[in-house]
Structure 1
Amino acid sequence: MALAVAALVKITFLKFEILGGDTYVYFAFFGSIVAYNFVKYASISRLYHRRLTKSMTKIRALTVISSIVFVYFGFQLSIDTIVFMLPFILLTILYTVPVFPNKKNLRSVAGIKIFIIAVTWTGITVIVPVLYAEGNLGFDMTIEAIQRFLFIVVIMLPFEIRDLQYDAKELETIPQKMGITRTKVFGSIVLVTFLLLTAFRDELTSTEILSTVFITIISLLFLWGTDKKQSEYFCSFWVESIPMIWLFILVLMQSLFG
């Protein structure tokens, strides 16, 4: 997951020819490890705080080390960049910590889980890195942010389908409300919108067109290949690798077409 975030950040830098962004890439990578482990393992870690299993001990050690490295790279960023990050850090905290009535967190609020994730990832992989490098969002960068939001919503759908048998009905996820087939149709419409938005850019290159077409097709194939019963690594490896595939395609297109 952290590699996926880093790949999406790198895609943003490559698309807009932003140089010298490695510090932010490392910052996002290690921050993603910390955030993911916080979201996924915080409650489990509390349950086993006295007798941690060997795997939980390793996860805690990884989280501590990643936190130290995350803070290290954070000190190399400007104060403005940290300020830009704060809303998305807050969303991550509210996603996990039960601060709402009836001890709810954002994750348990019906119908919004996938969109909270998409907003957070869009902020970290497009909005903050662009503000970090450019200081403001131009028209093409705004289009990129909208496209990134749509893209992340779609690649989250296979996870929602996978978890259909485990999620509480109160979550009202998209597959729960629409069913698997209609969820795939919905995701396909979102992907077509993602692709068509490319035409609205002020600066449109063959690299941008081809890389977007290819990643749209690949995402469609994974979306329609998703089922409630799937192999252990279908989502956890293959779907999570889609951003890395996108980065590879973009680098290849840029090397071929300049």
Structure 2
Amino acid sequence: MSKVMEYAIRSHIHLAIFSFVYILGLYKANQYAPYYALMFAFGILSIYNFHRLWKLRRGDLPGVILNWLEANKASVIFLSIISLLLAGVLYARYFAQNYLIHLLCAICVLVCILYVYRIRRYSLREIPYLKIFLVFGIWYFLLHIMPHMLFKSLLFPVEGFLLLFAVLIPSDMKDIDYDPEEMKTIPQLIGTNNSLKLMRFLSILGICYSVITQSNFTLPWIMSFTYMFLLTFFHSRINKDYYFVWVDACFLIVGVVLLLS
């Protein structure tokens, strides 16, 4: 793998790009969608990389990521700070509309901080059974609930729910050898093979729902869920440290096809 590609994956640039296209596709009819998509992408780059930097300080990273981050620490710090500033500017300029949005966003930021910052024994991510549901809650709020509050349109809530939950599972599969057993993540509870079966089930459920509802935008979801379903059969052939990247591309598929529709 080239150093550029590795940097894009390790610094979450790939996820920021995929998410930007996904949001842009979902809300393409709204003139503020590009600004919201950019804000979300910069938010990913800032929060996810600040999490990594905090874990580096605490010495709580797998060896490969630890070595990479130590070698690229300065650029990751710069990327995190610039992204945080840009996300803040976009929020203040376009989306700071009322106190309820301020409150909900403040809660999201607080959860993101406590996700890695330990109070006494645990950070939020280390509380048993909680990790994936915290991440899911933040993402679903930012992808569907907040745009509904801003744009007055709740788009694809069921399809987005199923896709998001399925996409998050491989991240825990990747960390199964590093997360403490007490965290009780889905792969720790049911194993890698059953986690893949759960992804297949969610994919089939998503395909069936898309076919039954027969909306004008069925194709993007069917393509994305089908791609995920097929991808579960190639887990053993893909480097386990990068399998999640292939799954993250489900966002890209939906976004691109919606933009072309």
Same structural fold, with TM-score higher than 0.5 when normalized by the shorter chain: yes
The answer for the alignment partner of 2:129 in structure 1 is 111
**1:75-114 alignment runs, 5 A limit:** 75-76=92-93, 77-80=95-98, 81-99=101-119, 102-114=120-132
Cross-structure match for 1:64: 81
How many angstroms does 1:27 deviate by? 1.3
For 1:74-110, what per-residue CA distance to the aligned partner results, in whole angstroms no more than 9, with x for missing partners?
22123334444233223222212223xx421221011
Structure 1: 4+ residue segments shifted above 4 A = none
Identity %: 19
Name 2:225's counterpart in structure 1: 216
Q: CA RMSD in A?
A: 2.6
Distance 1:88 1:195 in 2: 31
Tell whether the 8 Å contact from 1:119 to 1:149 is kept in structure 2 after alignment: no
Letter in 1 for 2:39: F
CA distance in 1, matches of 2:31, 2:16: 21
The code of the aligned residue for 1:111 comes to Y
Which of 125, 135, 138 matches 1:120? 138
Residue 241 of structure 1 aligns with an amino acid whose one-letter code is: A
Question: What amino acid maps onto 1:41 in structure 2?
Answer: L
Q: Give, in whole Å, the separation in 2 of the partners of 1:89 and 1:223.
A: 33
- Cα–Cα, structure 1 residues 90 and 145, in superposed 2: closer, same or farther, change >3 Å? farther
* Residues in 1 aligned to 2:196 and 2:70: alpha-carbon distance in whole angstroms: 38
Give the deviation of 1:32 after TM superposition. 1.3
Do the aligned partners of residues 185 and 232 (structure 1) sit closer, same or farther apart at CA in structure 2, a change above 3 Å counting? closer
Q: Pick one of 228, 235, 239 that aligns with 1:230.
A: 239
Equivalence for 2:255: 247
Q: CA deviation at 1:212?
A: 1.3
Matches within 5 A, 1:26-175: 26-45=38-57, 53-76=70-93, 77-80=95-98, 81-99=101-119, 102-134=120-152, 141=155, 144-175=156-187
- AA matched with 1:230: N
Matched pairs, number: 235
Shift of 1:19: 2.8
Say whether the 8 Å CA contact 1:162–1:230 is kept in structure 2: no
For 2:115 and 2:225, how far apart are their aligned partners in 1? 29
User: What is the CA–CA distance in structure 1 between the aligned matches of 2:191 and 2:201, rounded to whole Å?
Assistant: 15
Question: 1:199: Cα distance to partner?
Answer: 5.8
1:34 touches 1:66 (CA, 8 Å); kept in 2? yes
Deviation digits for residues 114-137 of structure 1 (CA, Å, limit 9, x no counterpart): 121111111111111221112xx6
Query: Given the alignment, which residue of 190, 212, 215 partners 1:204?
Result: 215
Structure 1: distance between partners of 2:82 and 2:31: 27
